[in-house]
Amino acid sequence: MNKNLREQRQKLAETHLTNIQKTLHHRLEVARAQGDENLIRQIEAEINYYK
C-alpha cells in the first residue's frame, strides 16, 4: 500500500509540474504578444526555475 501511495503522490507531483509549465508558457506567449520585455524576462526566469 505504501508503494501505491508513493506512486500516486509522484504522479500527482508530475501532473502539477506539467500544469505549471503549461501555464508559464502560455503567459510567456501573451507577454511576447504584448511586447512586455520585463514580464518576458520574469516568466523566462520562472520557466528556468521549474526545469
Position 47, amino acid: I
- Span 30-45, average pLDDT: 98
Question: In this predicted structure, what is the pLDDT of residue 3?
Answer: 87
CA pair distance 33, 24, nearest whole angstrom: 14
Q: What is the 3-state secondary structure (H, E, C) of the chain?
A: CHHHHHHHHHHHHHHHHHHHHHHHHHHHHHHHHHCCHHHHHHHHHHHHHCC
**2-36: per-residue pLDDT in tens?**
889 999 999 999 999 999 999 999 999 999 999 99
CA pair distance 22, 26, nearest whole angstrom: 6
